[in-house]
Amino acid sequence: MGLSPENIKAIEATIKDSLRRKFQNYKPESVYMPFHFNLLGKDRMALYSFIQSLNTTFGTSIFEPVAAALARTQFQNATTQYVPGNQISEGAQTAIQNIINDLSAGKTNADKKNEIEIIRAVCQKGKMNTLSTVKVDLFVQDKNGTMYLFDLKTAKPNISNFKDFKRTLLEWCAITLAQNPEADVMSFVAIPYNPYEPKPYQRWTMKGMLDLPEELKVAEEFWDFLGGKGAYNELLNSFERVGIELRPEIDKYFLKFKGE
């Protein structure tokens, strides 16, 4: 089932608001580049600088609010920059470290459902420690109460950080279970688009540390999960329509740099 016209309108409004907010808060770097300015023009250099800045913050400024707006079409609750809590049991911390040690040594294969049950069994055992973990980029909850916690990453995450990604995903679950041992919770790494398209995403780089079917959603998998089958393609069309609509506004914004 595709998105309704009302859903699409709301999502496109979110894209526009997010981009306009980025314009309002954007301040070009005051870097003097006379050769670049003379060759390409200050307006084009300002646009280039803006695109670089947008690429850096695309996750928080565009993807997160759009993902939340899309998820609200299918889920009971969706919010960004969610704080799962800060209490974790010593038992869960030990279990998480053991899981990561075994995965790193190749003693076990990643099995997220089993890992969650291991943590669930000790989620309130031992001293409760205060843990400062990263915020959940996107929190989604369905009508049955199942919680989905997403860590949105760049299209090409650094392979050296996969162990940290895994720890974060498990800690989110442990913190949630410490509050309610019966909670139904899953956590994922989400990659908003596939930079290798039309070739498949290079999932093998994450194999071993992540349970790929249960901990990774890439491009269409992610967006269709949030908005239903076909949501990814409809979202791309929405971005195109917004880009066409705002093009005069964007051109006018950067034209002011031409005379500086």
Q: In the prediction, which pLDDT does 87 show?
A: 97
pLDDT score at 159: 66
Give residue 225's pLDDT. Answer: 97
Domain boundary assignment for the chain: 1-74+231-260, 76-227
Averaged pLDDT, 68-76: 95
Q: Is 91 left (phi over 0), alpha (psi -120 to 50) or beta?
A: alpha
Q: What percent of the chain has pLDDT over 90?
A: 63
pTM listed for this prediction = 0.87
Q: Which is higher by pLDDT, 79 or 35?
A: 79
Who wins on pLDDT, 159 or 209?
209
Contact by Cβ (8 Å): 175, 139: no
Buried b (16+ CB within 10 A) or exposed e, 176-198: bbbeeeebebbbbbbbbbbeeee
List CB contacts of 180: < 8 A, sequence separation 6 or more. none
Q: What is the mean pLDDT of residues 65-86?
A: 95
DSSP state of 107: S
* Dist. CA 119–CA 111, nearest whole Å: 12
Q: Residue 177: pLDDT above 60?
A: yes
pLDDT average, residue stretch 113-137: 96
pLDDT at 41: 79
pLDDT band at 207 (very low <50, low <70, confident <90, very high): confident
Prior bond of 198 cis (ω within 30°): yes
Architecture of domain 76-227: 3-Layer(aba) Sandwich (3.40)
C-alpha 81/C-alpha 161 separation (Å) is 20
The kind and range of the H/E element at 152 are strand 147-152
Mean pLDDT of 184-192: 96
**Cα dihedral value 72, 142, 84, 221, nearest 10:** -70
Mean pLDDT of the chain: 89
Check: CB of residue 82 under 8 Å from CB of residue 148. no
Q: In this predicted structure, what is the pLDDT of residue 160?
A: 66
CA 63 distance to own-chain centroid: 7
